[in-house]
Structure 1
Amino acid sequence: MIFRIGNGFSENSPLPQGHGGRARLRLHARPGAGCACLIDLDCAIPIFRHGLGTIAARCHGKIAEMCGTDLHLDKLRKARERGLIDRFGLYGLQWGDPDERSDLVAVRDRFVWPLVHPDKVTVEIGPGGGRWTRYLVPCRTLYLVDRYPELLAELSRNFHAPNMVFVQNSGTDLPGIADKTVDLVFSYGTFVHFELPIIAAYLEEINRILKPGGDVVLQYADKTKPVGAETPSFPDCDPERIAALVRDTGFRIVEQEDTLLNNSGIIRFSI
């Protein structure tokens, strides 16, 4: 299901009606590019509904069922109960601010800013509350993909722009995004919780939508690191396995960073 954010819609909105955003939130633009302050959601309405993606359908929905139905919703619930969203100003910042924490600053400066451009069509998978979304706003079109309407609703509380398209998927598909139309796919804090079959299914869909020469940046779990090994929600994944999956799906690895983060890695690849 796809949700477009903008004026003029009022009936049967599946997302909550907008209210005053937090003015202290900083919505970023790449140096030299303009970006308006995006607050106040007017409303949202589903434009059209798509069925399961080809991979999920082929597997009778079994892959989608592996996505950890309760994990991300539980994290959102706990953040609300503990007042973390009000405290930090944005859901997700309790895990670190890419403007302040040195390793996340390095991720931002190396894997985000250089790839963001006003002419690009971008997809963010698992945007959460918008911790990384705010850097992607300057793109021409920004698809924000999540399985859970509750998380899309949380994101929409503070982000509103005519170039943003909210997409509810079935767990591994990218519905409503046409073949070979996307310049950049980005995901942080999401694939670290996915088992390898789910990652493989997503890679097939990413291969479908990515333009030749487009970029993909994913954070993945690394169980070879002590902190990664001690994280219960992380799958049995490591740099070699993720690299093999990426290559097997027909991608070319541009760079793979395995030392920057203490529990995970970053991989950038292209077609």
Structure 2
Amino acid sequence: MSSPATFTPPPGARAYSLRTARGEFAVVDAPVADGVVPRGVALLVPGFTGSKEDFNPLHVPLAERGYRTVAVDGRGQYESDGPAEDESAYAQQELARDVLAQVAALGEPVHLLGHSLGGQIARAAALLDHTPFRSLTLMASGPAHIAPSQQERVKLLRDALAVMTMAEVWEAMRAMDAPEEAAAVELGDGLDNREDLRRRWLGTKPAQLISTGRQLCAEPDRVAELAAVPLPFHVLSGALDDTWPLPLLDEMAARLRARRTVVEGAEHSPNTDRPAETARALADFWDETAED
């Protein structure tokens, strides 16, 4: 589970519901910094158990580089509504169409970034229709299903959700935290965000977690399909990743002829582990796509 340092949007950002042809989606929308020439818009799609707040550390450094950033809760994630029990509502193609609707509502082409599960949803959106996108960044998101060890964790969660409430599962997960993990969740850059994380968990629909967890464990390799899409690609990750090992990400980048960035000192969430370095790598890539 990703752990944002804070759930408070950065200065200048707005939290609101983005109205689209497929419903409303909660977003954090951060404008370009004052006095900076606008260079584009980026849509940021979070991962499994995540939310728009995972991208809070990126908004300010990207605004200073000229990029408006819009981070979104997907259908059934945290503050975006969705059915609690209808798993079909969270099929990958449905979530991909949501992304296309979000871009349409923003009214201009965007640089698309997906983290982990969000990367596979973003990939599916680009395969449906690449024309609304200026580029695609896959952040800590691999070519196919997640590693076996992570599949076991997802299966445990799905089994628990079948017989327990979201509140009961939350308490069970906290009881299983290692001491250092519990401290990280509780402190989060000096902030006690345990209650924020709990609120996010309880706001997420169980059907969304069950359906997307199943997708993560069964996702096929669609890299060859994606390589045929005429977009600039960027594969970005931390220096360690137990969800998709780095050799898999390196190989995927080569197959996509993508820019490859490894953020030293970061693991599965470079956006929160090393936000300044991650934002710099993203903006450098987006700047280069504008020059091509």
> TM bucket by the smaller chain?
0.3 to 0.5
More helix by share: 2
- What TM-score do you get using the length of structure 2 for normalisation? 0.38
